[in-house]
Amino acid sequence: MISVDHLTKRYGAFTALDDVSFEARPGRVTGFLGPNGAGKTTAMRVIAGLTPAGGGSATVLGRPYATLPNPGRHVGLLLDASAQHAGRTGREVLTLAAVLTGVDRRRVDEMVDLVGLTSKEANRRVRNYSLGMRQRLGIAHALLADPEVLVLDEPANGLDPAGIRWMRDLLRGFASRGGTVLLSSHLLNEIERVADDIVVIGNGRVVAQGTTEELLAGSGTVVRSTDDATLRRALEVAAVGVSPVATGGLLVEADPEAVGRVALRAGVVLRELRSGDERGLEEMFLDLTATSAREGVAA
């Protein structure tokens, strides 16, 4: 279990986290989403005890990370795959971690096999690893002590499609055995497939959270036309609730037939007309974060 309660963090006049609260529960994968600069990485660093909170609290298994006895045995972290010692081999990285956490060294070979690194790759210097290989090594490091909790920041970066599928199955298996997973990723399609719960953050604040099913349930009708401005005015005249969709078009609080009739009367040609239930995570994410995206700012 991960519990974040009214968490705040400021850097001078800049507020990175503003009253953030959410939970990641055992037996479930929680997707943690937000545009660049939203505060995801800051929140995960506070959870991992690497950055002090300005206010509020973040606990793992009921305690702050730093107060856990031998925390590496309980929590697996992957926050930056490039942070591994470049001069060591992959096997040396894992062996040193096993020694420091008191894990049986036989786990090293088990993890090398689990993440799909060959014996030759495991004995190669990390400086010669591709990004995908570093990610696999980072996942092996996170799983080495058979932890109860995983905190992973963009673990799929650099993985090929087969690697992404492997990671998805790995995380689902970990959760099915009662583990807690907090997963940050820009691969929204993968989050939609693997996450049981989703937390969306923008400008340092939680803008939506709930089960994946709840957040994607949607309502109303999504419509795109040759003249959305005219269609929107016609819908408003008909006293129908309407709002713009970040990816283009309109989200209308009416069924598709009613929207089609309004468009017909207004003489507007429709390009797309479908139930809001069919909206995917990408559209929901863009709508929720349209005013909070800060391209090029560190998260």
Residues 242-278: pLDDT tens digits?
A: 888 766 888 888 888 999 999 999 999 999 998 766 5
Integer angstrom CA distances of residue 66 from 45, 63, 74, 182: 12, 8, 12, 18
**Which of 136, 78, 142 minimizes the C-alpha distance to 107?**
142
Q: Structure tokens of 94?
A: 């894992």
State how far the Cα of 11 lies from the Cα of 98, in Å rounded to an integer: 35
Q: Binning pLDDT at 50, 70 and 90, where does residue 92 land?
A: very high
pLDDT score recorded for residue 296? 42
The structure tokens 């907090």 sit at 182
What is the CB-side half-sphere exposure of residue 213 using CA atoms within 13 A? 1
Q: How do beta strands 221-225 and 250-252 pair?
A: antiparallel
Q: What is the mean pLDDT of the chain?
A: 89
Tell whether the model's pLDDT for residue 47 goes beyond 50.
yes
Q: What is the CA radius of gyration of the chain?
A: 22
Do residues 298 and 240 lie in contact, with contact meaning Cβ atoms separated by under 8 Å? Answer: no
Tell whether the model's pLDDT for residue 295 goes beyond 60.
no
**Which of 177, 166, 160, 161 minimizes the C-alpha distance to 140?**
166
pLDDT score recorded for residue 188? 83
Residue ranges, CATH 3.30.70, the chain: 219-278
55 phi and psi, to 5 degrees? -170, 160
Do residues 171 and 181 lie in contact, with contact meaning Cβ atoms separated by under 8 Å? Answer: yes
Tell whether the model's pLDDT for residue 288 goes beyond 90.
no
Note the pTM of the prediction, 2 decimals: 0.78
Q: With H, G, I as helix, E, B as strand and everything else as coil, classify residue 188.
A: helix
Residue ranges, CATH 3.40.50.300, the chain: 2-215
Sign of CA pseudo-dihedral 110, 112, 117, 123 = negative
> Count H helices, E strands: the chain?
11, 13
> Thinking of the domain 219-278, which architecture would CATH place it in?
2-Layer Sandwich (3.30)
Do residues 44 and 9 lie in contact, with contact meaning Cβ atoms separated by under 8 Å? Answer: no
Q: Which amino acid is at 45?
A: R
Q: pLDDT (tens digit, 9 = 90+) per residue, 107-141?
A: 999 999 999 999 999 999 999 999 999 999 999 99
Domain 2-215 sits in CATH 3.40.50.300: yes
pLDDT score recorded for residue 254? 87
Q: Structure tokens of 240?
A: 């129908």
